[in-house]
Amino acid sequence: MKTPEGTKHYFVDEAGDATLFNARGVAIVGMEGVSHTFMVGVADVPDPTAARAALDALRASLLADPYFKGVPSMAPDGGKTAVCFHAKDDLPEVRREVFKLLQTLGVKVQVAIRRKSELIEEARAFHAMGRRLDASDVYDDLVKRLFRNLLHRGEAHEVCFARRGKSDRQQALTIALKRAKENFRRAWKADLDLPCSIRASVPSADAGLQVIDYYLWALQRFMERDEDRYFAAVADQFRFIMDLDDKRAKAYGRLYNDKDPLTLAKKKPLTS
């Protein structure tokens, strides 16, 4: 285990959603516009201030380019690219420039993925026991898994979560990170309890959230559409990907890392 150095800056967001049923209790996974996966990712951004400056400079140059004049997503009052980068809303030409920039920021990314077809079965099992599988519980479980091996790498750790809905869920996320620390201590028999602060924010206020949004968007396109050109642009920055419901070989899922990277040939196909 390496000696911790400096402060680690982590930015956390999600892709897809954990919605499984409609108001009538009918499973909606596989229907038009509904994601097949739900994933949570964390970006280790070594210099958030430099990342912010680079993204702001890129956005300013794009907004000044006559090529984008009159494009709604680039309008100052449109609340989209003119405010911050968001992969879903940005033009393809904009995404290309952002992906090129991301490769220069020294970011490291880890992601945990759940397949919603499996979550449906879990939800039904919970229901049979008189319990409810809550979307926040799924989210918090992925946070706990992601941070198990991340909260010992710096002398201190600052964790910025993308705000979910109207609440920042500070207490629940604090508990999730506490459990991640406990799991690390049990696994490594290490008596470490390094400082960790958490807060909730929005992408326009924290560029690190714009960064993790792009990585998650690329991975989601890869997982759900077998579209690998965006993922390929930043694949070497993904340090760890957990496909927790690919249990073809191991009961705990399929883990990809630098030595065993995720590829289309290795990925378990999604089921509707």
Share in percent of the chain as helix, strand, coil (round to 5): 40, 20, 40
Q: Summarize pLDDT for 142-158 with one digit per residue, the tens.
A: 998 998 888 888 888 99
How many other CB atoms are there within 10 angstroms of residue 221's CB atom?
17
> H/E/C letters for each residue in 37-93?
EEEEEEEECCCHHHHHHHHHHHHHHHHCCHHHCCCHHHCCCCCCCCCCCCCCCCCHH
pLDDT of residue 190: 54
pLDDT of residue 31: 85
pLDDT of residue 117: 92
Handedness of CA 240, 246, 250, 252 (dihedral sign): positive
CA distance 165 to 121: 26
Q: What is the pLDDT along the chain (272 residues), one digit of tens a residue?
A: 455 568 999 999 999 988 898 888 888 887 888 899 999 999 999 999 999 999 999 999 999 999 999 899 998 887 899 999 999 999 999 999 999 999 999 999 999 999 999 999 999 998 889 888 888 889 889 998 998 888 888 888 999 999 876 555 666 677 777 777 776 666 655 556 677 888 889 999 999 999 999 999 999 999 999 999 999 999 999 999 999 999 999 999 999 999 999 999 999 998 64
Q: Which CATH class is domain 7-257?
A: alpha beta
For residue 45, the number of C-alpha atoms closer than 13 Å in the C-beta half-sphere is 27
pLDDT of residue 29: 87
3-class state of residue 108 by DSSP: strand
Q: For residue 125, with 0-12 CB atoms within 10 Å meaning exposed, 13-18 middle and 19 or more buried, which class applies?
A: exposed
